[in-house]
Amino acid sequence: MERIKVLLLEDEPLDIESLKKLIRTQSLNYDLKTVSTCSEARQCLSEASFDVALLDSHVPDASGLTILSDLEGVPAIIITGQGDEETAVRALKNGASDYLVKDLSGMYLHLLPT
């Protein structure tokens, strides 16, 4: 079975480790490439193809929303710490396939495989 190539744009080490742990413990068939800035994400997108992108809505150099236009057919899920409707609408209008709100318990991560 071919592995799912996932680009993760995330600058919080705890969130990165939580996703890696989920992949390991659930034996998910994912190859995870992690970057912490939009410029690093753009570089990765120019060098490799991905099946899905998980984009933090706020990273040091910009919003994950700014690279949606660079994805060219790659489904993107915006992950945000702000559960407001405005962020959701903006994400979906800019081309995101979905969006998830980070919760302190990390339960949002369990929605990603679905």
- Cα(26)–Cα(49) distance, rounded to whole angstroms? 24
pLDDT > 70 in the chain, percent: 99
pTM attached to this predicted model: 0.90
Domains and CATH numbers, the chain: 4-111 (3.40.50.2300)
Residue 113 pLDDT: 75
pLDDT at residue 47 is higher than 80? yes
User: Given a cut of 80, is residue 22 above it in pLDDT?
Assistant: yes
- For the cut 80, the answer to whether the pLDDT of residue 100 exceeds it is yes
- Reading the block at residue 40, the tokens are 């690093």
The residue among 82 and 13 whose pLDDT is bigger is 13
The helix or strand, by DSSP H or E, that contains position 52, with its residue range, turns out to be strand 52-56
C-alpha span between 33 and 87 (Å, rounded): 25
Judge whether residue 1 has pLDDT over 80.
no
- 108, pLDDT greater than 90: no
Q: Are 26 and 1 in contact (CB under 8 A)?
A: no
Per-residue pLDDT band at 7 (split at 50, 70, 90): very high
Q: Across the chain, what does the average pLDDT equal? A: 89
**pLDDT attached to residue 82:** 74
Rounded to whole angstroms, how far apart are CA atoms 74 and 35? 16
